[in-house]
Structure 1
Amino acid sequence: MQADSTPKAQKVTHRDTVKLNPVDNVVIALRELEVGTQPFGLSVPLVASIARGHKIAVAPIAAGENVIRYGQIIGQAKTEIAPGEHVHVHNLGMGAHQQDYAHATANAALPAINEGRVFQGYHRADGKVGTRNYIGILTTVNCSGSVARFIAEAAEKTGLLDAYPNIDGVVPIVHGTGCGMSAKDDGYATLFRTLAGYAQHPNFAGILLIGLGCEVMQVADLVGGRPIRKDGALRYMTIQTEGGTRRTIERGMEELRGIAELANQVTREPAPVSAMTVGMQCGGSDGYSGITANPALGYASDLLVRHGGTTILSETSEVYGAEHLLTRRAETADVGKKLIDRIRWWEAYTERNGGEMDNNPSPGNKRGGLTTILEKSLGAVAKGGTAPLRDVYQFGEIIDKNGFVFMDSPGFDPCSVTGQVASGANLIVFTTGRGSVSGYQPTPCIKLATNSEMYARMAEDMDLNCGDIVTDGISIEAKGEELFEMLIRVASGEHTKSEELGFGGVEFVPWQIGAVM
């Protein structure tokens, strides 16, 4: 059974190693360590060189004995491990694990902060607030993807937006599905939620919806019988009805001008911080992720929740093994059980598709020091801070509660972010130790580096260095407050590095579930 303690954010001083919890039987190397040296916290010299972010045994560990990090089980020793030995894939395995879910037993509300903090955002007719003011060209099917891009390119070439200074740009949202699928299964329902979520996203001032005409995901089904946008800034067409590519482009340009007239009338105005919804992601993680950037994001998440805002944790396959830390924080036992229902679904889903829940960490994660999914998940959950878990949502389901919530998704980053944006995230924060590069129009993405070495190497892609928590002794709390202030600035219009580089054209990845026929 796992220990009850939750990984705690803490100040890490500049040493050779760090022990994250008094009961841990490993320490983490904070720099490259040479064989024969005896770093801080060890009673014997190293028997091999240890890379930064990797684990070192500090006590004898018998074969089959639990290896403990964060005060939690991260796996079992495959062989005897002596003090000073490297602990990694060669001698640490997943093993059986059991958790006590203890639903809703540690869900005390955080004290509210009533400072009246605001950001400058775009107020929409449905009461939501955008952090950007884009026009979207949304496609129902892969067959209309090229035409959507043609229209966006024509808008840029002709300078269509030159007369509309309040509009951030035209974003084609294209994908590789929408047909060759059942119209009755989970895959269809998931894609429908995703497209509907993007169609009403507050970072879009208006939407042009384009289909081919004969696909499974029909335009009429998306728009029929209900208003997708209360502001009326939705136009739609099919290529077959318009008479082909050229005529669809011409008609599309006409519709864009009409949408632009409406979109340009909206300007930034003060909005409460409670209108911010932040999707939290980690990708290309390393041994520092659970020590620096993830707990700093967790602290910022708590700050936003205390101001009345919303944060979304996802990547269900990457909280596996740490879900008991979330069920304890569930607002009610039913909320905790909803999360476990999704865990059980994932176990069955991976089994029937010939996969394993421990197919993580990736090769890059392992080079960065992570060994098992249990270890990776414990670090990933730190992004969620300490606030009560208010609810659990399906992929792309509209978030209707403020506070800290969970949205079911794969661990595949662009897919998971796609779901969070469809659910209403108007900001994304992405922590990375190896150096992930991506962006997610229409939602700006803030990149956090977990270590100073990678930040120095990829500073043009990273927005904030959290490695100084280790190198300079900056506290988790101070870094979380720095990130919170950055969230407000970016929500108010400050560009992120991924926006400056032009990312966002290929990162719309709906979750494809079910048979392709």
Structure 2
Amino acid sequence: MSLLQLHPRDSVAIVTETIVAGSSVDGLKALDDIPGGHKIATHDIASGEPILKYGRIIGVATQKIAAGEHVHSHNLSIGSSEDRAPAKRVEQSPSPGALSKSAPIVEQKETFFGYARPNGSVGTRNYLGILTSVNCSATVAKRIAAHFTAERLAAFPNVDGVVALTHSGGCGMSDSGEGAEMLRRTISGYANHPNFAATLLLGLGCEANQISRIVPLTTGNITATTIQDEGGTKAAIARGISEIERLLPEANEAQRTLQLVSKLVVGLQCGGSDGWSGITANPALGLAMDHLIANGGTAILSETPEIFGAEHLLTSRAEASVAAQLMERIAWWQQYAERHNNSLDNNPSPGNKLGGITTILEKSLGAVAKGGSSPLRAVMRYADSLPCRGLIFMDSPGYDPVSATGQIASGANMVCFTTGRGSVFGAKPVPSLKLSTTTQLYQRMRDDIDINCGTILDGAESLSEVASHIYSAILDTASGKLTKSEELGFGEEEFQPWMLNSVL
């Protein structure tokens, strides 16, 4: 297969392998050199005419385009809102088109082995955490964690590690308002997370983001102190080491027990997307999530700027009040971008464009596929507690570390991350599965990628077969199998709370 047309209505096809100008591909003469994963015009397109992929408008032609021409940033733009309006009247959703049918995934086991916590949640890992209220306590937190080497932890085989998660905020900001509340929700969400057996909350003492404002939001096993109360850096490090040593035997007593998949909460991320993301990895992940949700589990879709132009695919399967909440967040992001003299179409990134994605509309249509076809049950604020089970949308930026941090603060005990260009990512204390869109990427970055979804494009496996692999990997990982990013030690630096407050 050299050209892939995803929908009969489409005005472009996807080039499966790089072609050179003058070559004939599936009866169509290429007028340009076109990289694999990019778009070729299947017929003549007039200037100003909408261009369709997935059966939906991804932008308009900025000039006349002849059949066989490369369709990309030089001749395709997002257009105006009036240009995009007809897209919302098309009934078909994004699909893998000619690659496979969206058949149900094969029968799977519906249990995993996890750590049951007193509040009813279930952990997929068993860490001790050190969280900071302010950047000023970051160094002390990291030095406490560094004390607990693999050799020192060898006597506690049921403890996955001691991890310090630090951030750049907490002072030089207002101590009230949306930004301060968001930071406190994020920190307390991690403190309450089932993947932490216990946490040490460490502040400086004089910061705007006072520990006394965070502790009441926590329900887990929390110890809190400040560097100033302890008498300085050395004393605070000594106190922190002592506290972790006290907590280790108790944390080591935790044992994995058989749990239902309804206890799984999966954060959905895509980063370094390419032209295949919406065709292989994202739809396969979406089908796996449909199966998880059908069995009582929860999936969190986020990255609000990266559903722009495809939000109607979510609102069409949501109750009116939920749909209205999602549209309110879209409007907020448009206003936010305008205030900073920016546009939501500033996304896709340069890497996305090299991979074949031209407009945010095209990127969003592929990104939404991660959420499968289940009803959208709720829309929630960044780092808020989960309001229900099922498919949930959490408002967040499209920047992956910030978005995933919010999902984990909301209770995600797994992350599934699709990539077409090769993002590297981990998210302690939560395991993160990486899914490649192509076999070429999987082979090139085997140390980072857990699952190859490129077999769909290769014709070696169907969408449902790959979805079944994803689902099995989620259960195995939740039960303790290490991901590639865990083997590489990723996870501390990727803790990135969304900082809304101005720096004063």
Give 1:194 shift: 0.4
Name the structure 2 match of 1:321: 309
Change in Cα spacing, 1:178 to 1:339, as seen in structure 2 (3 Å) is same
Amino acid at match of 2:23: T
1:415 pairs with 2:408: no
- Is contact 2:108-2:472 (8 Å) kept? no
Taking structure 1 as the reference length, the TM-score comes to: 0.92
Query: Residue 12 of structure 2 aligns with which residue?
Result: 26
Give the match for residue 485 of structure 2: 498
Give the counterpart of 1:37 among 20, 23, 28. 23
Q: Which amino acid counterpart does residue 133 of structure 2 have in structure 1? A: T
CA apart distance, 1:160: 3.9
Contact 2:105 2:468 in 1 (8 A): no
Give the aligned partner of residue 381 of structure 2.
Answer: 394
Specify the alignment match of 2:130 in structure 1.
137
- Give the aligned partner of residue 39 of structure 2: 55
Whether 1:459 aligns to 2:451 is no
3-state SS of paired residue (1:421): helix
Q: Is the 8 A contact 1:101 1:327 kept in 2?
A: no
Give the match for residue 191 of structure 1. 183
| Displacement after TM superposition at 1:438 (Å) | 1.3
1:412-445 Cα distance to aligned partner (Å, 9 max, x none): 0100000010011000000000000010000000
Structure 1 residue ranges (4+ consecutive) displaced by more than 6 angstroms after TM superposition: 99-102, 110-116
Aligned to 1:426, which of 405, 413, 437? Answer: 413
Which residue does 1:262 correspond to in 2? 250
Partner SS, residue 456 of structure 1: helix
TM-score, normalising length: structure 2: 0.94
CA RMSD of aligned residues (A): 1.9
Give the letter for the 2:17 counterpart: R
Q: How does 1:358-377 map to 2 (within 5 A)?
A: 358-377=345-364
Q: Which amino acid aligns with 1:163?
A: A
Aligned to 1:12: none
Contact 2:402 2:497 in 1 (8 A): yes
Return the offset for 1:291.
0.6
Identity %: 51
5+ residue gaps, structure 1: 1-14
User: Is the 2:405–2:497 contact (alpha carbons within 8 Å) kept by the matching residues of 1?
Assistant: yes
Alpha-carbon shift at residue 227 of structure 1 (Å): 4.9
Cα deviation per residue 1:455-490 (whole Å; 9 max; x = unaligned)? 111111100111111113421111001100110000
Amino acid at match of 1:168: D
Equivalent of 1:228, from 219, 225, 246? 219
| Pick aligned residue for 1:484 from 459, 471, 476 | 471
Give the distance between the partners of 2:439 and 2:19, measured in 1 at CA. Answer: 17
* CA shift for structure 1 position 185: 1.9
* 1:122 aligned to which of 88, 95, 115: 115
Q: Give the match for residue 181 of structure 1.
A: 173
CA distance in 2: counterparts of 1:101 and 1:198, whole angstroms:
38
SS at structure 2 position matched to 1:358: helix
Partner of 1:151: 144
1:343 aligns with 2:335: no
SS for the counterpart of 1:380 is helix
CA distance in 2, matches of 1:58, 1:292: 22
Alignment partner of 2:358: what SS? Answer: coil
Distance 2:279 2:205 in 1: 51
* In 1, Cα distance between equivalents of 2:389 and 2:306: 23
Match of 2:295 among 286, 298, 307: 307
Letter in 1 for 2:76: L
Structure 1 Cα separation of the partners of residues 28 and 113 of structure 2: 56
The answer to which of 61-70 and 472-481 deviates more is: 472-481
Name the residue aligned to 1:46.
30
